[in-house]
Chains A and B, each alone.
Chain A
Amino acid sequence: GESVGLHLPTLSVQEGDNSIINCAYSNSASDYFIWYKQESGKGPQFIIDIRSNMDKRQGQRVTVLLNKTVKHLSLQIAATQPGDSAVYFCAEGVYGGTASKLTFGTGTRLQVTL
């Protein structure tokens, strides 16, 4: 299948542990952020989003934290499972705009070890 990239930073986590994936964004005007998961051979899949009027949002086993002061967001995955192995990347944009205005990060590869 298609590989996302050979030069991605890699996070190796043991099954059952929590994972934290980080993303730095560049545009101070961005007020909307998304995390995507991309499994080998597949297109990106939406995980969770957050608007800049929040600093934390929780989903099922995932939490996104936003620190606007340092333009940083993170994705926390609780009780990491083998099925979580994938490339994760963030995207930034302006809420109320169109998807054409999203800017995507390069991604982090998450490897779950047994």
Chain B
Amino acid sequence: NAGVTQTPKFQVLKTGQSMTLQCAQDMNHEYMSWYRQDPGMGLRLIHYSVGAGITDQGEVPNGYNVSRSTTEDFPLRLLSAAPSQTSVYFCASSYEGLAGESSYNEQFFGPGTRLTVL
């Protein structure tokens, strides 16, 4: 198993450009999510998905779009990049258990994408 993979590893954009960060997992996980990590701050949830065709907003969704057409893939789109979106982005996946169970400890993170917006 490759686990959670992310591409690209590094990206530099100019203000106003758009791009898509790719995330894929081969563990048949239902739950996938995107976080951003900024200096001095903890991971903040951008968007998440509990299964193919279902997405929802997290804590900081503005400026980002997601879709989940397959179980394996969960791309994150920046519509018009801004310097405030300079960050390290992590994708994560987990098998969400039955109601009442917790599968936090099964959340696997990808290696991250460092994005710089000039």
A binds B: yes
Please count how many residues in chain B sit with their CB below 8 Å of the partner chain's CB atoms: 36
Separation of A42 and B108 alpha carbons in the complex (Å): 11
A61 interface residue per 8 A CB criterion: no
Given A96-B99, A99-B104: A5 in contact with B31 (beta carbons within 8 A):
no
Interface residues on chain A, number (Cβ under 8 Å) = 30
| B1 contacts chain A at the CB level, 8 A cutoff | no
Q: Dominant SS at the A interface? A: loop
Q: Which 5 A-B pairs have the closest CB atoms?
A: A43-B109, A104-B42, A5-B39, A104-B43, A2-B88
Chain A residues within CB distance 8 Å of chain B: 2, 4-8, 32, 34, 41-46, 49, 89, 91, 93, 95-100, 102-107
Further pairs besides A4-B39, A34-B105, A96-B100: 18, Cβ < 8 Å = A2-B37, A4-B37, A5-B39, A34-B104, A41-B111, A42-B111, A43-B90, A44-B90, A46-B106, A49-B105, A91-B104, A96-B101, A98-B96, A99-B31, A100-B56, A104-B44, A105-B42, A107-B42
